[in-house]
Amino acid sequence: MTWIAIRMLTGDRQKFFGLLFGVAFSALLISQQLTIFVNLIERGATAVYNIPTANIWVMDPVSRTPDVALPMPSTALDKVRSVNGVEWASPMLRSGATVRTPEGDLEGVTVVGVDDATLIGLPKKFVNGSREALYEPDAVIIDSVGAAKLFPEGFDPIGVRLELNDRRAVIRGIVDVDPSFTSQVILYTRYSNALAFVPGTRNRMSFVLANASEGLTAKQVATRITEATGLKARTRDEFARDGVDFIIENTGIPVNFGITVALGFIVGVAIVGLTFSLFIRDNIKQFGALKAIGVTNNKIRMMVAAQALLVGLVGYGIGILLAAIFISSGASSSPDFKGFYTPWEIPLLTAAVVIAMILITGWLALRSVLKTEPAEVFR
Amino acid sequence: MTETRTAITINGIVKEFSAGSQMIRVLHGIDAEVRSGELTYLVGESGSGKTTMISIIAGILYPTDGSVSVFGQDIYSLSDNDLVRFRLSNIGFIFQQYNLIPTLTAAENASVPLVAAGMKRDEAVERGRDMLDKLNIADQADKLPRQLSGGQQQRVAIARALVHEPRLVVCDEPTAALDAKSGRRVMDLLREVALAPERTVIIVTHDNRIFDLADRILVMEDGRITHDGKEMPEH
């Protein structure tokens, strides 16, 4: 009877496409919004993951994320270096500044000062230029997303002079990094230069980046650093997670995306439920006739289940495909979506939501079919 | 004249429906016998109980009291599932509004009882096509119901009712939606194809244009059989 059920459904094109639209719309909205949500909050961790060399981040105990950090005295660096198990430690400065482009535009930027000697803290992947260029006077290296934001498409910013907090800065390279949560332009420079670019208080060092010696885990060494210095030491993964948690706890993003996902589900249930009910109502005489002829309730259940399954599968496929096209085209065309990806959990979660939607609407539709007495076909 | 013998025995059938707090009795202890090889009409005004009666005979409406034996089987002593199976094997239905599945072709519609019984699709559709051939509409086999005239749709419905060779065929106002000529043609065909020594055909109708085709007419009034004969009673 399955083929009869499928033909009953697909033959009524208006309702069939209505059902597909309902499921696809929900799947698209849910998966697309969840993907954006996950990628957006993961931006809270990009500042940490853009620097793969350091597996321990040391900071003032009140510091919370790469962008919410209280500067420490320079002596903190020596304290960390003196802890047994620390292979190396280097300073990092992260601070906000304003930059004026040659065209006169004003833009807020993040200045990242990395160790003068080793350049630890500088991202590895260069789009243009090289690490050594940072040794040139007033040199800064801009991130690729920031370059796309500051300059027109196709423009080569190498050699461009910027006015950075009233000082001259020259772009000498472009690094490929994932943008931060705020998508602010990032300018990397040597620590000594950064101190000049970003004048401020007595304490200037935002973080000490460190690495664990061979044979010790980052967690073990981080614990030792905290015990020995009183500073907060986090492994790379812990600190990345802190950045994500900070966004979750301090912004309305989870609630807003949660509402959108819930709406996607509710609208989907409403569209699919209503259309499915209309379809069943239009075919109730036929279902009644089938029951009179001798089709059992179990076979009727299988028929409605086959119809719901078809709608669910095709609608889900269309929705996920559209979401994938949206995300991939966004990632390739807009710097704001750079690095966006769809974690495997999202299609799975969307599938679970679609299954729930289909079960609810299928059950509602089935109820009226099962309640139909075969004798009603004679009335 | 075909050979006749008792096919259906109806004993003391009572049917009551609830209407709010009241129970309304629509059948008042009906006793009757229906013979095989005959075209039996169940005739009566609206509200006389003929639709309730045919539903009970066809095994799709439980009586409040009494029993119905179809080919020796007390059908309401069967379990629900067994009764469904009994209907599928032994009873063919023809409805007033045809109730064809609009998205299936004529041949596919005709094959539905066979598919429901578990026959493979291709084989069932082929049998449905053969049945349509017997009803002289083989050339319409691949058309959807909406592409057929009312008379053709009713023939498809007849094909669906007969394709699995049931022993009892029940028809509800088979000519009500047809003009006189088409109705007559459908009835002639039904008589020709459906009537067989081992088969019983019961037709609910109030279409006096086709009364002359009946072998037996049972007239119902207010939930009782008031006439049993070859012809309609004189008023």
pLDDT digits (tens, 9 = 90+) for B172-186: 888 777 777 777 877
Same domain, A214 and A267: no
Per CB-CB distance under 8 Å, the chain B contacts of A3 are 121
Same domain, A276 and A193: no
Same domain, A225 and A273: no
User: What are B53-73's pLDDT values in tens digits?
Assistant: 998 998 888 999 999 999 888
Q: Residue A146 in contact with residue A177, Cβ under 8 Å?
A: no
Cβ under 8 Å to A: B residues 102-141:
102-104, 108, 112-113, 115-117, 121
Q: Residue A105 in contact with residue A220, Cβ under 8 Å?
A: no
Same domain, A82 and A222: yes
| Cross-strand pairs, B224 | B221
Same domain, A318 and A169: no
Could you give the percent of chain A with pLDDT greater than 90?
Answer: 42
Same domain, A320 and A190: no
Confidence of residue B35 (pLDDT cuts 50, 70, 90): confident
Instruction: Evaluate whether residue A172 is within a structural domain.
Output: yes
Nearest CA in chain A to B92: A293
For A136-139, which contacts have Cβ atoms below 8 Å and span 24 or more sequence positions?
A136/A170, A136/A172, A137/A170, A138/A167, A138/A168, A138/A169, A138/A170, A138/A193, A139/A169, A139/A170, A139/A172, A139/A173, A139/A189, A139/A190, A139/A193
User: What are B200-224's pLDDT values in tens digits?
Assistant: 889 998 877 778 888 889 999 988 9
DSSP state of B36: T
Residue of A3, A12, A374 lying closest to B60 (CB–CB): A374
Same domain, A77 and A152: yes
**Any idea which of A8-22, A84-98, A136-150, A360-374 has the lowest mean pLDDT?**
A360-374
Q: Give yes or no for residue A271 having a pLDDT over 70.
A: yes
Could you give the percent of chain B with pLDDT greater than 90?
Answer: 21
> Rounded distance, CA B62 to CA B75, Å?
10
Same domain, A263 and A226: no
Q: CB contact, 8 Å: B82 with chain A?
A: no
- pLDDT for residue B105: 93
Same domain, A266 and A222: no
b/e map B98-137, b = 16+ CB within 10 Å:
bbbbbbbbbbbbbbbbbbbeebeeeebbebbbebbebbeb
Query: Which of A9, A162, A160, A377 lies closest to B98, judged by CA?
Result: A377
Strands A86-100 and A106-114: antiparallel
Q: What is the mean pLDDT of residues A162-187?
A: 88
Residue of higher predicted confidence among A181 and B78: B78
- pLDDT for residue A51: 85
- pLDDT for residue B127: 92
* Full residue range of the structural domain in which residue A261 is found: 2-43+252-378
Q: What is the mean pLDDT of residues A57-66?
A: 93
Which CATH number is B1-71+168-230 given? Answer: 3.40.50.300
- pLDDT for residue A112: 93
Residue of higher predicted confidence among A174 and B21: A174
Q: In degrees rounded to 5, what are phi and psi of residue B232?
A: -70, 145
- pLDDT for residue B207: 79
A297-333 and A2-11 helices, crossing angle to 10°: 50
Residue of A285, A288, A294 lying closest to B116 (CB–CB): A294
Same domain, A166 and A278: no
Instruction: Evaluate whether residue A94 is within a structural domain.
Output: yes
Same domain, A135 and A165: yes
- pLDDT for residue B129: 92
Q: CB contact, 8 Å: B174 with chain A?
A: no
- pLDDT for residue A199: 78
Q: What is the mean pLDDT of residues B89-107?
A: 88
Instruction: Evaluate whether residue A53 is within a structural domain.
Output: no
Q: What is the mean pLDDT of residues A47-52?
A: 86
Q: CB contact, 8 Å: B158 with chain A?
A: no
Burial of A101 (0-12, 13-18, 19+ CB in 10 A): middle
Residue of B54, B81, B121 lying closest to A3 (CB–CB): B121
Q: Give yes or no for residue A367 having a pLDDT over 80.
A: yes
Interface test with A, best of B103, B120, B162 (most A CBs within 10 A): B103
Q: What is the ipTM of this complex?
A: 0.84
> Rounded distance, CA A368 to CA A222, Å?
63
Structurally, chain A folds into a number of domains equal to: 2
b/e map A8-32, b = 16+ CB within 10 Å:
bbbebeebbebbbbbbbbbbbbbbb
Q: Give yes or no for residue A18 having a pLDDT over 60.
A: yes
Q: How near does any CA of chain B get to the CA of A151, in Å? A: 60
Instruction: Evaluate whether residue A131 is within a structural domain.
Output: yes
Instruction: Evaluate whether residue A50 is within a structural domain.
Output: no
User: What are A176-234's pLDDT values in tens digits?
Assistant: 888 888 778 999 999 999 998 887 778 889 999 999 999 999 999 999 999 999 999 99
Q: Give yes or no for residue A62 having a pLDDT over 90.
A: yes
Q: Give yes or no for residue A242 having a pLDDT over 90.
A: yes
Q: Give yes or no for residue A337 having a pLDDT over 90.
A: no
Q: Give yes or no for residue B3 having a pLDDT over 60.
A: no
> Rounded distance, CA A185 to CA A336, Å?
12
Most confident of A22-26, A296-300, A362-366: A22-26
* H/E segment holding residue B101: none
pTM comes to: 0.77
Q: What is the mean pLDDT of residues A353-359?
A: 89
Residue of higher predicted confidence among A129 and B177: A129
Confidence of residue B235 (pLDDT cuts 50, 70, 90): low
What mean pLDDT value characterizes chain B? 86
Per CB-CB distance under 8 Å, the chain B contacts of A374 are 60-61
User: What are B134-149's pLDDT values in tens digits?
Assistant: 888 889 999 999 999 8
- pLDDT for residue A347: 93
Q: CB contact, 8 Å: A3 with chain B?
A: yes
Same domain, A276 and A371: yes
Confidence of residue A75 (pLDDT cuts 50, 70, 90): very high
How many CB pairs (< 8 A) connect A and B? Answer: 85
Q: Give yes or no for residue A292 having a pLDDT over 90.
A: no
